[in-house]
Chains A and B, each alone.
Chain A
Amino acid sequence: MSMKHAPARRPAVSPAMRLTATLTGALLAAGALTPAAASAHGISGRASLPVPAWLFAWAAAVVLVVSFVLLSTMWPNPRLQDAHERKLCFWPPALSVPAGAIGLALFALVVYAGYDGSPYYTANLDPTFIFVTFWVGIPVSCILLGDWFRAFSPWRALARGLRWLGGRANIHWHPPLAYPSWLGRWPVVVGLVCFGWLELVYHDHDNPSLLASLSLAYFALMLLGMALFGIDEWSNRGDAFGGYFGLFARLACLDVHDRTLRLRRPLAGVTSLPRESGTVALVLVIIGITTFDGASNGVVWNTLQPHVQSLFSGLGLGETPSDELADSLGLTLAIAIVVAFYRVGILGMRSVSHRYGTTQLSRSFVHTLIPIGFAYVLAHYFSLLVWQGQAIGYLASNPLGHGTDYFGTAGWRVNYNFIGSTGIWYVQVVALVAGHVSGLALAHDRALVTYPSMQQAVRSQYWMLVVMVGFTSLGLWLLSAVNT
């Protein structure tokens, strides 16, 4: 790769362009200075911060710029494009049997608790287990332990059990359909959007019996998919939760395949993400759902939402449907904003070199957003995990809310002094910055093998820097708004 390049000549800038740029900068600066008073009732109202919260966004941007410079100057060769695995030990496949049995038993408990337990969401196991332990706890643990959910997945365990029993009875089931390549990961995308809608938009989302019914429906859908397309094929591409957890598990250093537990280089697992249809949408939807979760508690959406709601109620809809429609629109808008963010970065990279099309670039660099998606999830749900997650302690002893005390923990209560608002804010900032620096490193590494010249690689990374700084700033803004 040649490093000989002529110094780039600055383009001629017309006075009109200078004036426009100056005007824009002035307006932006005005916007930055205006909220100085507003920040007094921002996050600093709850978390005691030494500086206004928006300065954290600026500091994060500085960290990212410095990381960008260091990566460009001190990371001259690709290092993450291969897995760089090391075998640790043999992994007995028989372990999947007890794991699957535990998964099935927990699923049965959730369904039973939903139908037979207390209808109050704080007293019933279901809402806390599904929205905290399952939805937030498993992705976080997958970062440390790898894709352990695959072994515990109840629908996969039952399908494998049925296949084993069929084999013993000399009944061999062959999937009648081949999984269409155009479908890719779209079932996962649809499943996640539906779950996000249930969690963030639907009014009756914490109704235990409804959650139990939906869990059963999902279970049946998964069994049908595995019967039609094959267990592994559907588990890899059609299972929304398996796909979601598996995506984050690629960030882990631990991985099990070919009956071996392996240790791999950090972040190296995501570079082998298959570039199939729906993968870009999956990553963007994960960030979009979390973005709306943050925005729905913030000032901007809470100011706009009543206007949108009144628009729908003006059409004759009731209060609840119009509220849900308004929030559905907000969820769609949040996903669209995230897509637009990424699109800007990709179009910018395309302007650097026309060697690759936007679709190629989009698929080639989407793995860089996986650590960002995880950072968003961790940052936005951290307080939920450390506070509401404690409720599992007493719900395990009293899952139905009928006064049982199986493990002697029914008297436990949530300790809100476990970590304060200030501590949570710092964890959120560190998570966001670390996630985006990781994304930047992945993007830099991919650019080194994508572009023939160093100048093109660097210029492409300027655009990814915009994407990363943009997502960091957006995330911090949303988090500070939540604490307002």
Chain B
Amino acid sequence: MSRPTAITLRRLLFVVAATLLVAVVAVSAPSGLLHGLAYLLPPLLLLLALSMRRYPGERALLAVMEGNRGPMLDTVAEPVPRQLRRCPALPRGGRLIATSLAVRPPPARAAVSHA
């Protein structure tokens, strides 16, 4: 999946506003609120990272997940549909010549069924 690479002006403004809000709170808040920041710091930091479209450790996590799922899902051979397994029969005789010479050959399925 592609992830957005451009930092939009809107997002920049959002982060600046959030920073200002934190600054205002830090300067003017009562000690209790400041105390609360110590508790809320982990989710705020995580939120900050995610709002900047960073997913810390995502690649490592997906690599491990892929490794774990591999033996379970990827190596199990899915049953091939019956129609795909059947070897397509080649046209024969005059149809082979007609097919080779034709500018636009007949549909493959029709060719096989009439062979």
Q: A-side interface residues toward B, CB under 8 Å? A: 1, 3, 5, 7-14, 16-17, 20-21, 23-25, 27-35, 38-39, 42, 54, 57-58, 61, 69, 72-74, 76, 298-300, 303-304, 344, 348, 453-456, 458-459, 462-463, 465-466, 469-470, 473-474, 476-477, 480-481
Write the nearest CB–CB distance from B51 to chain A, whole angstroms: 8
Could you tell me if B37 and A32 are in contact, using CB atoms closer than 8 angstroms?
A: yes
Could you tell me if B53 and A21 are in contact, using CB atoms closer than 8 angstroms?
A: no
Q: A28-B45, A470-B40 are known contacts. Are A299 and B32 too (CB-CB below 8 A)?
A: yes
B34 within 8 A of A: yes
Interface digits, B1-16 against A, CB 8 Å rule (1 contact, 0 not)?
A: 1111111000010011
B93 within 8 A of A: no
Q: Which of B31-57 contact A (CB under 8 A)?
A: 31-48, 50, 52-55, 57
Could you tell me if A473 and B53 are in contact, using CB atoms closer than 8 angstroms?
A: no
Cβ of A456: which chain B residues have Cβ within 8 Å of it? Answer: 1
CA distance A410 to B68 in the complex (A): 62
The 4 closest A-B pairs by CB, nearest first: A299-B32, A31-B37, A61-B42, A477-B39
A-B pairs with beta carbons under 8 Å apart, 18 shown: A8-B55, A14-B12, A17-B7, A31-B22, A31-B34, A31-B37, A35-B37, A42-B35, A57-B40, A61-B42, A73-B61, A73-B64, A304-B30, A454-B66, A455-B62, A458-B62, A466-B43, A469-B43
CA distance A1 to B72 in the complex (A): 12
B18 within 8 A of A: yes
Q: Which of A32, A34, A69, A463 has the most CB of B within 10 A?
A: A32
Q: A16-B12, A29-B41, A303-B32 are known contacts. Are A3 and B65 too (CB-CB below 8 A)?
A: yes
Could you tell me if B62 and A5 are in contact, using CB atoms closer than 8 angstroms?
A: yes
- Residue from A1, A9, A54, A477 within 8 A of B5 (CB atoms): A9
Could you tell me if B26 and A21 are in contact, using CB atoms closer than 8 angstroms?
A: no
Residue of A nearest to B61 (CB): A72
Q: Which of A14, A28, A455, A458 has the most CB of B within 10 A?
A: A28
CA distance A58 to B42 in the complex (A): 7
B23 within 8 A of A: yes
B58 within 8 A of A: yes
Cβ of A58: which chain B residues have Cβ within 8 Å of it? Answer: 41-42
B78 within 8 A of A: no
Cβ of B37: which chain A residues have Cβ within 8 Å of it? Answer: 28, 31-32, 34-35
- Residue from B30, B59, B65 within 8 A of A454 (CB atoms): B65
Could you tell me if A31 and B72 are in contact, using CB atoms closer than 8 angstroms?
A: no
* Sample of 11 further A-B pairs with CB below 8 A, known A24-B18, A32-B37: A11-B5, A14-B7, A16-B12, A21-B15, A29-B41, A34-B34, A69-B61, A72-B64, A74-B68, A300-B33, A477-B36
Could you tell me if A76 and B74 are in contact, using CB atoms closer than 8 angstroms?
A: no
Cβ of A30: which chain B residues have Cβ within 8 Å of it? Answer: 26
Could you tell me if A32 and B50 are in contact, using CB atoms closer than 8 angstroms?
A: no
B100 within 8 A of A: no
Cβ of B55: which chain A residues have Cβ within 8 Å of it? Answer: 8, 458-459, 462
Could you tell me if A473 and B15 are in contact, using CB atoms closer than 8 angstroms?
A: no
Could you tell me if A72 and B65 are in contact, using CB atoms closer than 8 angstroms?
A: yes
Could you tell me if B32 and A11 are in contact, using CB atoms closer than 8 angstroms?
A: no
- Residue from B32, B38, B73 within 8 A of A300 (CB atoms): B32
Could you tell me if A3 and B66 are in contact, using CB atoms closer than 8 angstroms?
A: yes
